Amino acid sequence: MVDTNDRWIVERTGIRERHIAGPEMATSDMAIAAARCALSLRGIEASEINAIIVCTVTPDMIFPSTACLVQNGLGVRNAWGFDLVAACSSFIYGLTTAAHLVAAGTHRKVLVIGADTMSRIIDYTDRATCILFGDAAGAMVLEAAGENENAGFIDFLGEIDGSGGDYLKMPAGGSRLPASHETVDQRLHYVHQEGQQVFKYAVRKMYETCAELLGRNGLSAADVGMLIPHQANARIINACAERLGIPPERVLINIDRYGNTTSATIPLATRDAIGQGRLRQGDLVMFAAVGAGYTVGASLWRWAY
């Protein structure tokens, strides 16, 4: 479709395969399926959920929110919710928001979903972006740890930098450039990215954010049981881990199987870490991401599952 080949893609991104949603499947459909999996694994009913946070840049439509569609699809009653838009950092922001809702004592169970159908906003004539993205959804349920559990949310560090907004964006479809014949003809409803700018910023900020988060909590790389980063590019992940001093066996990389699924990468990677026996009860886990905006975030947790 474009002037590239498998070797070029693998060497520069680490991606070997991706999954693309069928034309009948929207973001809310994947989100509902992921939510049902999470609820089933936890053994709780949808009726127990107090809030739903859907992290996505590809909602079914501008409004109503995807959270409303998910709530109705799951049959959740007496819950509230909203969509959270922070691109590739969305799921970390959603987890942090949910953790504070639970810690405040106002919510018992919060459902956080990362879901994106990126194939719908990718220009398959643009080599810089069309090789990167896939479709997926993942979900987690947050609730208070037991009194005797050495587990839970520890800390979060986030940052936004709007000066980088032009380097990764979908230009049209909002109030500044509403849909028109001209915006469609100019292919402005697709993702546009300046790869080198994004790459350099992501490598630097992911490392700096993780290092500062560990430092202010009196922790070092040796304390981290598992680093689960956003899966944008294997070279970004490896560079960050190497600078932090975290060995490969304690870094989860699964971009080779899914590509960049935006807000879904971290829940997908967490599921794989659990399934591979690499994330266990009591481990210190660090999530980290850099996304369009720019958005930056990292959080520390003592894992309970």
For the annotated catalytic residues, the residue numbers are 88, 230, 260
Q: What is the DSSP string of 217-244?
A: TT--GGG-SEEEE--S-HHHHHHHHHHH
CB count within 10 Å of CB 222 equals 10
SS3 category, 126? coil
The secondary structure of residue 251, as a DSSP letter, is: B
CA-closest candidate to residue 165, choices 117, 198, 204: 198
Q: What is the DSSP string of 40-102?
A: HHHT--GGG--EEEEE-SS-SSSSS-HHHHHHHHHT--S-EEEEE--GGGHHHHHHHHHHHHH
CA-closest candidate to residue 133, choices 48, 242, 231, 50: 231
Q: Are 133 and 139 in contact (CB under 8 A)?
A: no
CB count within 10 Å of CB 296 equals 25
The gap between the terminal CA atoms of the chain, to the nearest Å, is 43
Per the structure block, which two tokens stand in for 275? 């399934």
Amino acid letter at 249?
E
